[in-house]
Every structure is written in C-alpha cells, then in structure tokens.
Amino acid sequence: MEQLQIKACQQYALPEFGANVVLLDTGIRAKMMKPFYAVEKLRKIAGLEMAIYENPKKSDANSVRFLSRAPRDDTLKVSGLDNLFCAGEKSGFFVGCTEAIATGFLAGHNAGRLVAGKNVLQLPRTLAVGDLIAYENEQVQSGNLKTRYSFSGGIYFQRMTNRGLYTLNKEQIETRTEQSLKTAVF
C-alpha cells in the first residue's frame, strides 16, 4: 500500500491497486500496475509461475519522470525564448500518452505557425486540452508542484467531468470543437 504514494499515474493510486496485482493486457506483453514487485512473489500466483520481467530495450534503465517542467505560456511557448515550444511532461505535470500527443500536436502546430510568420494558437478552455494546459499552468503558478494531471483519472478527470468537458458523444465533441476554435486566441 505504501507504493501508492510514489505512483506517477495518480489515477492508479487507489487501494484496489495496492491490494491486488493488476495486469493490463498490451497485446504481446502485460503491464503491471505497480512500481515494484518481486518476480519471486509474482511467480507464487497461480498461472504466473513462469512470469518474467522483460526489458525490450535491453538497457539497465527504467523511465525517469518529472525531472523538470519548462516554464511556458498556454500556447506551450517556453518563457524567455522566442522560438521554443515544449510538449509532454516537459510542458506540464501531465501523465499519459493522450496528454503527450495533444501537447505535442499543439507545440508542433505552433512552431510551424511561428516559422510561417503567423500568430500561434492558444486553445480555449471550452476544450478539455485547452483547459488542461491552462489549469495546470495556473496550479504551477500558485505553487502547486506535486499534482499530476491526466484525462484518464485523478484530479483533472474530476475537473473535466465537473465542467462538462468529458463526453463520449462524438457529435457533441465535433460541435464543441468547431464552436471553440471559432473563438480561439491566435
């Protein structure tokens, strides 16, 4: 249970993940949702007697996360530099592939706009991505350097739900996106 405090993905820092072995099927492999678990202990579970930990990159390293976050504005432009944008965990205390893709897309889009001599885009808070970027930046500016943000759970997911930004309705997403981009700041 004490390992829950060191999880980068806070949406998995639940008692259920501490009390159980949870494996996510990724196709060829399975990902264990614990930061550390002795393989000898894992092999005592029925069906996992032959389990191994695999390191597909054949290195001695594991992922090292949240070393630093670049100071940036809500267009993802790094403060103090005229031509540098950041994304992923460098742009904020974001957890997840979706967050990395979304910020990467915006940072790359804005870098292209800058090179073309156009104004950069700041996504409106009526879109979950725009709200995530702005909200995380506000939290950091207020001194909150410990909270992690994700679309898939935890504090930001709750905020997204409370603000009506979470939906599975594709038509609603398309309509909101169209309307929001008409009012986007360039």
Q: How does pLDDT run across 46-73, given as a tens digit for each residue?
A: 988 998 887 666 655 555 677 789 999 9
Task: Show which of 64, 98, 117 is a domain's final residue.
Answer: 64
d(CA 67, CA 145): 11
Query: Residue 32 falls within a domain, yes or no?
Result: yes
Q: Is residue 76 part of a domain?
A: no
Which runs of consecutive H residues, i.e. helices, occur in 24-169?
Answer: 39-42, 97-115, 128-141, 154-162
Q: Is residue 178 part of a domain?
A: yes
Tell me, yes or no, whether 100 and 14 share the same domain: no
Q: How many CB atoms are located within 10 Å of the residue 66 CB?
A: 14
How confident is the model at residue 164, as a pLDDT?
96
Closest to 140 (Cα-Cα) out of 93, 107, 80, 88: 93
Do 122 and 178 fall within a single domain? yes
Give yes or no: residues 60 and 92 share one domain. no
| Any domain includes 70 | no
In a domain, 154, yes or no: yes
CA 19/CA 97 separation, integer angstroms: 26
Task: State the residue range of the domain holding 3.
Answer: 1-64
Please tell me whether residues 54 and 101 are part of one structural domain: no
In a domain, 69, yes or no: no
Q: What is the pTM of this model?
A: 0.74
User: Can you list the pairs that 19-25 forms with residues at least 24 positions away whose Cβ atoms lie under 8 Å?
Assistant: 21/45
Tokens of 24: 């996510």
Q: How far is CA 100 from the centre of its chain?
A: 6
Interval 110-143: pLDDT, tens: 999 999 999 999 999 999 999 999 999 999 999 9
Identity of residue 69: R
Q: Are residues 119 and 163 in the same domain?
A: yes
What total number of domains does the chain contain? Answer: 2
95 in the same domain as 45: no
For 75-108, the pLDDT digits (tens) are 999 999 999 999 999 999 998 889 999 999 999 9
